[in-house]
């Protein structure tokens, strides 16, 4: 009985995702890349953690209230950054790796979401069970080696498919929040600059593994201003301010990332990288929130388990994650704008050779 109920829930989630895709199909009338593969943490996890032994889950109300009122496991009220990029690419929302049975995985050719909340670049970063970035890449390896060849029979066509697809990696904030800033963290002996360098080295090794499997076009997120999340904000009776100590620590990593990606692009033949400058763009929003439609940039929309009514006016949905309104602004700007993703947007990445 429990198994059949779980199957019904999975089917319901998939149907819901397809309905959302159809409702937003006006963004892009046809598929413009073969596939979209998503790696990362809770910023782009769409429900993989539902299948794991962890408290880091978002499959309960009020999450998903604007996703057909379905709590799929997204850590927001509606769509994530990755969801909106998929729609703009003319693709269905990438199915969750852990939700697709082994016997069905070879039918999926438009991309997969491997992301897992509370995980980080380092295997030691986690809160309970999660799919480490290493584990996500292991699953992608299986996709490339075992599943895709069953639909794409020519090795040449498979190489072309992989080289033209888009690969999003949105990860790193938990390596600070759950690891470096944690008294029980595994690398507290390193100074801030050493830790940033270590994280970048570890990320680089993992990007190379994805590249070696055939990926060529990457979208890599910097770590955002986590000192400005509701859980980190410094509050007094008269003011609310970002925790700049936290922001400056993370900035060391984010400032070095573009240079590291440029090095990789030089080393890895035919690779192309764009970085998502969350820090600078979110600061632009903070400087003029009204211009972006926000009235509250410090507090979570969800208070005492209840969502606010005016969700489009809140930058944050919960204690750490953006509301769909913010995700839409970031995704659309990265896809076709000039202020967030560098050295160019995703639209140009698609057509680059």
Catalytic annotation on 318?
yes
- Which conformational region is residue 47 in: left (phi greater than 0), alpha (psi within -120 to 50 degrees), or beta? left
Q: Residue 240: its pLDDT value, please?
A: 96
Q: Residue 236: its pLDDT value, please?
A: 95
Question: Residues 99, 116, 165, 321: which is the catalytic one?
Answer: 321
Could you report the per-residue pLDDT of 104-153, keeping only the tens digit for each?
999 999 999 999 999 999 999 999 999 999 999 999 999 999 999 999 99
d(CA 155, CA 10): 32
With contact defined as beta carbons under 8 Å apart, do 322 and 302 qualify?
Answer: no
Given a cut of 90, is residue 27 above it in pLDDT?
A: no
d(CA 44, CA 131): 13
User: Is the peptide bond preceding residue 62 cis, with omega within 30 degrees of 0?
Assistant: yes
With contact defined as beta carbons under 8 Å apart, do 256 and 200 qualify?
Answer: yes
With contact defined as beta carbons under 8 Å apart, do 4 and 58 qualify?
Answer: no
Question: Residues 42, 71, 116, 118: which is the catalytic one?
Answer: 42
d(CA 45, CA 249): 25
Q: Burial, 39: exposed, middle or buried (Cβ in 10 Å; 0-12, 13-18, 19+)?
A: buried
d(CA 220, CA 206): 12
Question: Residues 45, 83, 277, 318: which is the catalytic one?
Answer: 318
- C-alpha closest to that of 278 among 319, 329, 348: 329
Could you report the per-residue pLDDT of 89-100, keeping only the tens digit for each?
999 999 999 999
Structure-token pair, residue 148? 């895709």
d(CA 311, CA 299): 12
Catalytic annotation on 27?
no
Q: Where are the alpha helices (DSSP H) in the chain?
A: 2-23, 81-88, 133-142, 155-164, 173-174, 192-212, 244-267, 278-287, 324-336, 346-351
Most confidently modeled range among 1-5, 6-10, 119-123: 119-123
User: Chain-wide mean pLDDT for the chain?
Assistant: 93
Could you report the per-residue pLDDT of 163-210, keeping only the tens digit for each?
999 999 999 999 999 999 999 999 989 999 999 999 999 999 999 999
């Amino acid at each position: 009985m429990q198994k059949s109920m779980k199957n019904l829930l999975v089917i319901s989630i998939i149907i819901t995702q397809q309905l959302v895709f159809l409702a937003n199909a006006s963004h892009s009338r046809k598929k413009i890349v073969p596939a979209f593969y998503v790696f990362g943490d809770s910023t782009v996890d769409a429900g993989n953690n539902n299948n794991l032994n962890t408290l880091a889950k978002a499959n309960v109300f009020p999450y998903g209230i604007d996703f057909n009122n379905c709590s799929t496991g997204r850590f927001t009220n509606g769509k994530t950054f990755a969801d909106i990029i998929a729609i703009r690419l003319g693709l269905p929302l990438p199915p969750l790796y852990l939700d697709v049975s082994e016997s069905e995985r070879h039918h999926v050719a438009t991309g997969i979401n491997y992301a897992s909340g509370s995980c980080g670049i380092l295997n030691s970063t986690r809160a309970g069970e999660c799919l480490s970035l290493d584990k996500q890449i292991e699953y992608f390896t299986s996709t490339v080696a075992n599943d895709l060849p069953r639909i794409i029979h020519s090795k040449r066509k498979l190489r072309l498919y992989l080289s033209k697809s888009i690969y999003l990696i949105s990860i790193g904030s938990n390596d600070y929040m759950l690891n470096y800033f944690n008294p029980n963290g595994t690398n507290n002996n390193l100074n801030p600059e050493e830790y940033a360098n270590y994280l970048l080295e570890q990320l680089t090794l993992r990007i190379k593994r994805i590249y070696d499997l055939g990926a060529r076009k990457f979208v890599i997120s910097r770590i955002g201003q986590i000192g400005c999340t509701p859980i980190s904000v410094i509050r007094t009776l008269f003011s609310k301010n970002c925790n700049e100590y936290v922001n400056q620590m993370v900035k060391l990593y984010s400032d070095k990332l573009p240079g590291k990606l440029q090095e990789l692009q030089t080393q890895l033949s035919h690779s192309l990288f764009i970085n998502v400058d969350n820090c600078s763009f979110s600061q632009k929003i903070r400087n003029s929130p009204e211009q972006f439609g926000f009235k509250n940039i410090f507090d979570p929309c969800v208070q005492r388990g209840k969502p606010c009514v005016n969700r489009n006016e809140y930058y944050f949905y919960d204690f750490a994650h953006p509301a769909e309104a913010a995700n839409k602004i970031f995704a659309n700007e990265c896809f076709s704008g000039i202020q967030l993703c560098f050295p160019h947007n995703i639209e140009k990445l698609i057509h680059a050779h």
